[in-house]
Amino acid sequence: EVQLVESGGGLVQPGGSLRLSCAASGFTFSSYEMNWVRQAPGKGLEWVSYISSSGSTIYYADSVKGRFTISRDNAKNSLYLQMNSLRAEDTAVYYCARDSGTTDYWGQGTLVTVSS
């Protein structure tokens, strides 16, 4: 069974940093591309970032470019999102999602709240 479990969310002040993790199991993690997608409270879905299976290709949404960094450790079956210079508008549930052309499996998400 495919499982994606996010962690690392919490309350952070504007301008602060946070690192999200996603632990993957039930599939060959190193063979799949991965994404982060977020959802602000009461709002729709917003794609945030993508990383290829080897980590050699990375894309970001304009809203996070230069502030967020996606990475992965295939030996640990883990995906990461380093978030710096956080803003109030980054407040959202962050989902880790497997990519097989489209996003086919999603984790349950971790809540990031940016507030003073």
Question: 106 is written with which tokens?
Answer: 């999603």
Decide if residue 46 touches other proteins (CB under 8 A). yes
Question: Nearer Cβ to other proteins, position 59 or 76?
Answer: 59
Listing DSSP states for 66-86 in one string gives: TTEEEEEETTTTEEEEEE-S-
**Contact window for other proteins (CB under 8 A) among 20-28, 66-74, 78-86, 96-104:** 96-104
SS3 track for 42-69: CCCEEEEEEECCCCCCEEECCCCCCCEE
Sole binder of other proteins in the list 86, 107, 110, 114 (CB under 8 A) = 107
Decide if residue 110 touches other proteins (CB under 8 A). no
Question: 78 is written with which tokens?
Answer: 């883990």
d(CA 97, CA 104): 7
Least CB distance from residue 102 to other proteins, whole Å?
4
Decide if residue 45 touches other proteins (CB under 8 A). yes
How many residues sit in the footprint of other proteins (CB under 8 A)? 19
Question: Rule CB under 8 A: which residues touch other proteins?
Answer: 35, 44-47, 50, 59, 61-62, 95, 101-109
